[in-house]
Amino acid sequence: YQRRVHGVAPFVRRDVNYNKEAYELGQKICQREMKILEKFLSNHDYICSSQLTLADFVCYCEVGQLRSKYMNLWDFSSFPNISKWFERMEKVPGYEESHKGLKDAIPFITKMKQEKMSKL
């Protein structure tokens, strides 16, 4: 459970006690995980191979929402392989339709994030 304290959940779940230490730990864990993903994507267009697999969909659901165009919780500018993977994932048929709900939630998530960050 502790590994899941970063990302969107701490900003929208009122049952998660999110303090400065938890935020810093989440940033550290996320940085480590992004480096691992960046390395995976240095050898292939997709996570497991040169073809799109279920692993890409599962990972994108978690990582993709952190981007500036959605929740703006992580800066991917120093991760070129992840950024290229994002571009490939956006070309998957059905991408726009499947992200409508996430786009609609941005104002709510942004407000909750600002409220929680102001208390850190």
Most confident range, picked from 25-29, 44-48, 65-69: 44-48
User: Does residue 85 have a pLDDT over 60?
Assistant: yes
The pLDDT-based confidence of 89 (bands split at 50, 70, 90) is: very high
User: Does residue 2 have a pLDDT over 80?
Assistant: no
CB 85 within 8 A of CB 41: yes
Residue of 37 and 108 predicted with greater confidence: 37
pTM exceeding 0.85: no
CB 18 within 8 A of CB 5: yes
Residues 6+ apart with CB under 8 A from 83: 76, 77
